[in-house]
Structure 1
Amino acid sequence: MSDGVPSKSQVKKAGSTIRKYFREEVDFDVAVDAVAVVEDWRRAHYIPLVSANNGLRSRARTAGVEAEVTQRLKRRQTIMDKVQREPTLDLSRMQDIGGCRAVVESIDDLRRLEERVKNGRVPVVGGADYIAEPRQSGYRGVHVIVEYQGRQIEIQLRTTTMHSWALAAEDFSQMLGLNLKQDGDHPVQLFLATASEMMALLETGEEIPDPLRALHEQRRLDALPLLP
């Protein structure tokens, strides 16, 4: 550990230890030490995250794109939940501990900003285009993983329409205690998936086919009894 920042091998071991604790294979004291490593690793992303946020704002300005830019550092409990949920995840390689988001008015604006981010001086080390290939859940957006000061930061790009859908999915997730942005076949997830498809068509000026409207209405009726 250097200057309070754990090495990647220490972080990987901490993730494995936390996973073992959830399986009741190690005792509490061992887990406490592992959680301390996770917290140190989490804090090590803060300054790179601020740099990424400032860089994203600057790229939006130079691209001539009006963007609402925000940042978040993933909560410690959320990190541990993800480690438990994904048994093969190497914690030292988790790409979204620090995250920035830009919400823009149109897909054209989004693509212009995406180009600026990808062609900048900051290394791009990964990403996904959930507009070209939406998630089964209906989630849409573009993710670009950049590296600032040795830390990977996830940049999310969404239009206001995509962001509205994501906020609705988060609200329903809190109501039901489920992560509805993940792929699945829960009735509310199916309802959100067709809603996303309809919103995407409207955003590009296309008409909504009658069969899709009918399917969405049926899924709405299926989901309604499950909502508080």
Structure 2
Amino acid sequence: MSAGELTTSQVKKAGRTVRRYIRNENISEAQLQAAIHTIDRFRAAHQKPLVTANNGLRSMVRSEGCVVEVSQRLKRFPTIIDKLVREPTLPLSSMQDIGGCRAILADVDEVRRVEARLKKRRPPVGYADYINTPRSSGYRGIHVVVDYGGRHIEVQLRTKVMHEWAIAVERLSARVGDNLKQDGEHALQLLMSVISDAMAIEEAGGVVPEQVHSEIARRRLDAAPYLGRNT
């Protein structure tokens, strides 16, 4: 049986089995290995649709006259497992970001133009506007989930400023050994959230208010133990 022939019930069962194993429930080695094999096949089934989606996104970006900076990624197996644990009610079959591609654009206007073209060509099966409504972590961007060949592919649209912020958070996560990309109350998360506010104000052509500068300074002091001497 090929990866494309997996049923929804098989995928859901594999996700439940892994969760039960992580909870130290009675799962045999054979059951665990079968679940891992199913998850690997489900992941692999997104590869071809992901390439198609990535090529389509490149075409749309070019059609809007934007500089193409598009990338793609297939979610790593450990990251899939981490999400199963982090979101215990999410069926594996409903995980919409196994395959993802991203366009980094010059400004919000370009993001909106590409977003409109994408929605017109591929009616979304999922959508999140983290520009108008940023996450509490400070994350900003547009996520559009589209169907390619029966698989859901998440398309992320960011400006260069938003992307620089996200890369900084990833680097801090690696430094402290904690996933700071999620919403939370870690000192670094609180600092990066208010920095995101300041970056968004500047990107829109505004002047960052003094109270925001003061908040950044206060949050930086709180986060000092994690920042190191040269940060």
Report the TM-score range of the alignment, normalised by the length of the smaller protein. over 0.9
Q: 1:181 Cα deviation (Å)?
A: 1.6
Is the contact between residue 187 and residue 223 of structure 1 (CA under 8 Å) also seen in structure 2? yes
Q: 1:79 Cα deviation (Å)?
A: 0.5
Q: Distance in 1 between matches of 2:193 and 2:207?
A: 17
Q: Distance in 2 between matches of 1:93 and 1:86?
A: 11
Normalising by structure 2, what TM-score? 0.95
SS in structure 2 at match of 1:200: helix
Question: Deviations for 1:135-175, whole angstroms, at most 9, x for unmatched residues?
Answer: 00000000000000000000000000000000000000111
The aligned residue for residue 72 of structure 2 is 71
Unaligned runs of 5+ in 1: none
Q: 1:30 Cα deviation (Å)?
A: 1.2
Q: Distance in 2 between matches of 1:215 and 1:67?
A: 36
The aligned residue for residue 113 of structure 2 is 112
Q: Distance in 1 between matches of 2:93 and 2:127?
A: 17
Is the contact between residue 103 and residue 160 of structure 1 (CA under 8 Å) also seen in structure 2? yes
- The change in CA–CA distance for 1:3 and 1:29 in structure 2 (over 3 A counts) is closer
Is the contact between residue 161 and residue 203 of structure 1 (CA under 8 Å) also seen in structure 2? yes
The aligned residue for residue 48 of structure 2 is 47
The aligned residue for residue 169 of structure 1 is 169
The aligned residue for residue 82 of structure 1 is 83
Q: 1:123 Cα deviation (Å)?
A: 3.4
Unaligned runs of 5+ in 2: none
Q: 1:20 Cα deviation (Å)?
A: 0.3
Q: 1:200 Cα deviation (Å)?
A: 0.1
Is the contact between residue 137 and residue 193 of structure 1 (CA under 8 Å) also seen in structure 2? yes
The aligned residue for residue 93 of structure 2 is 92
The aligned residue for residue 23 of structure 2 is 23
SS in structure 1 at match of 2:58: helix
SS in structure 1 at match of 2:140: coil
The aligned residue for residue 184 of structure 1 is 184
Q: Distance in 2 between matches of 1:107 and 1:153?
A: 22
| Amino acid in the other structure paired with 2:109 | D
Residues paired across the two proteins, number: 226
Q: Distance in 1 between matches of 2:66 and 2:116?
A: 12
Q: Distance in 2 between matches of 1:4 and 1:134?
A: 36
Q: 1:64 Cα deviation (Å)?
A: 1.3
Is the contact between residue 21 and residue 28 of structure 1 (CA under 8 Å) also seen in structure 2? no
Q: 1:67 Cα deviation (Å)?
A: 2.9
Q: Is 1:35 the counterpart of 2:36 in the alignment? A: yes
- Backbone CA RMSD of aligned residues: 1.0
Q: Distance in 2 between matches of 1:57 and 1:100?
A: 10
Normalising by structure 1, what TM-score? 0.97
Q: 1:199 Cα deviation (Å)?
A: 0.2
SS in structure 1 at match of 2:13: helix
The aligned residue for residue 2 of structure 2 is 3
Is the contact between residue 69 and residue 103 of structure 2 (CA under 8 Å) also seen in structure 1? yes
Question: Deviations for 1:41-83, whole angstroms, at most 9, x for unmatched residues?
Answer: 0000000000000000011111112230000000111101111
Q: Distance in 1 between matches of 2:200 and 2:223?
A: 21
What is the aligned-residue identity percentage?
52
Q: 1:226 Cα deviation (Å)?
A: 2.1
